[in-house]
Amino acid sequence: MGTPPLGRAAARLHGGCGHDKLAPDEEPPGVTSGQAPAPRRILHGILCMCAAGLMFPVMSGFAKILGQDYSSLQVSWARAFVHLLFLSALFLPGSGLGVLRSRRPGLQLMRAAMLTTSNLASFYALTFIALAEQAAIQLAAPLIVALLAWPVLRERTTPGRIGAVLVGFIGVLVLLRPGSGVFQWASVLVLLSATAYGVYQILTRLVAPYDPPATSALWCTLVGAFGLMLTLPFVWQNPATLADFLLFLGCGAFGAIGHYFVARALLYAPANIVSPFQYFQLLGSVAIGWLFFQHLPDAVTWAGGAIIVASGLYLGWTQRKAS
């Protein structure tokens, strides 16, 4: 028995155990080349992507609350472990433990380390900065991928794409506000998180010809869950209340549900149609930031986020045009 359709779609996600990023553009199951999916299916795909844009900010909001009293290592472990349970339920019944066999274990370890670094840096930074600012800076990850794709993957680039990357990084500088009185070093940690995630995506493309998607998805969750488990004896605190325990559980559950919605979006419509709606997460972060912490972003945050989103949309449009 093979991997179920949802499992195949979930495994195609670059962020199988981390963020809401998409795999390279590809046709969803049941849509052949040159065949347009039904408008109703496209609408379902867009709605699923927007739903994911609400799930991930809730996950980050829970992580921010927990970060006030618990180590980011413990929060990141809970996030990875619950997601591991989710992926195991998807893949192991149909494929067994053989799905863990990798032809490039070194690359798998490197990409898992990058993803774990990205999650840990992001969760730690959330202790100090607002959700909307974290989400906006995190959107720099596609810019990192575009920057590295040419020298590492030998992908063809154009002056327009290079210009878009440079403009996007201007948006990052607007958000970081270096030299100003409101500069926060934690924002640099989010940029580190975005950079690590961009490298993770590049490594994922390098390993794709050798290992099936399910193998790659499970490797990153296994390394994150069991690697961080080694740190727990030094930082572990029992959840003080039932509410805290539920927040730990919810941190992983909402992340897993978010990736479920992304997977459904990819089943309903091509990635190049639904991927622009991943930027809905920025609005979701603003909403959750206001509901949980009564915080609204200032004009500079909106401006920097708009520059990054515009650059990302242009990169996505040129990628779709080239393909």
DSSP 125-178: HHTTS-HHHHHHHHTTHHHHHHHHHHHHH-----HHHHHHHHHHHHHHHHHH-T
Fill in the DSSP letter of residue 321: H
Does residue 119 have a pLDDT over 70? Answer: yes
On average, the pLDDT of the chain sits at 80
- Assign 179 a pLDDT band (cuts: 50, 70, 90): low
Residue 60 has pLDDT above 90, yes or no: yes
Residue 2 has a pLDDT of: 41
**pTM for the complete prediction?**
0.79
Q: CA 200, CA 115: separation in Å to the nearest integer?
A: 6
**296-317: average pLDDT:** 83
Dihedral angle at the C-alpha atoms of 98, 102, 106, 112, nearest 10 degrees? -70
Residue 12, pLDDT > 70, answer no
pLDDT band of residue 13 (cuts 50, 70, 90) is: very low
Q: How far apart are CA 270 and CA 53, in angstroms?
A: 18
Average pLDDT of the residues in 45-71: 91
278-304 average pLDDT score: 87
* Torsion angle (degrees, nearest 10) of CA 235, 124, 198, 162: -160
Q: Is a pLDDT exceeding 80 seen at residue 284?
A: yes
Q: Which of 206, 202, 205, 209 is nearest to 147 (CA)?
A: 202
- Looking at per-residue pLDDT, the higher value among 248 and 187 belongs to 248
pLDDT of residue 38: 62
Pick the range with the lowest mean pLDDT from 59-73, 268-282, 304-318.
268-282
- pLDDT at site 321: 64
Q: Residue 36: is its pLDDT beyond 70? A: no
Is 274 within 8 Å of 9 (Cβ atoms)? no
Average pLDDT rounded to a whole number, residues 187-203: 89
Cα 165 to Cα 169: distance, rounded to the nearest angstrom: 6
At 101, the amino acid letter reads R
* Cα gap 44→268, rounded to integer Å: 7
Q: pLDDT > 70: what percent of the chain?
A: 83
